[in-house]
Amino acid sequence: MHEMSLALNIIELAEQAARDANATSITAIEIDVGEIAGVMLDALEFSLSVATRSTLAEEAKLTLHLIPGSAKCKDCGRTFHLSERWAVCPLCGGLSFDILAGKELTIKSIDIE
Ligand SMILES: [Zn+2]
């Protein structure tokens, strides 16, 4: 499962940051997940709960924030909601656009003790 390797990676980064700060445990982790990051929230949530076992983040409260996708059309210059990576501008039918948000999969914050 793709989400499991992402979860392991996230927890590894969080633990590294906690160790660098000489923390003994991680109490909370907030993660931004883009709507078109290709990640299933439920699967990621489950994977994280497994990945935190026997780590500094074992007791951490995990919060996932879904970041809506948005894109700017290169043809008409307008911004629209992007729910899939491959889309057509709903305003002019243009096929080329810049993705402004929604691809992220990042740790937003980590609380440590
Ligand atoms: Zn357009």
Compute, in angstroms, the gap from residue 90 CA to the centroid of ligand 1: 7
Residue 39: name the closest of 80, 8, 6 by CA: 6
Average pLDDT over residues 6-29: 97
- Residue 72 Cα to ligand 1 midpoint, Å, equals 8
Residues with Cβ within 8 Å of 45's Cβ and at least 6 positions away in sequence, in order, are 62, 64
Task: Tell how far the Cα of 34 is from the centroid of ligand 1, in angstroms.
Answer: 22
Q: Provide mean pLDDT across the span 26-50.
A: 96
Residues 6+ apart with CB under 8 A from 105: 6, 31, 32, 33, 34, 37, 39
Question: Which residue segments constitute the domains of the chain, with CATH numbers given?
Answer: 2-68+102-112 (3.30.2320.50)
Residue 85: pLDDT over 90: no
- pLDDT > 70: what percent of the chain? 99
Q: Which residues have CB atoms below 5 A from the ion given as ligand 1?
A: 73, 75-76, 89, 91-92, 94
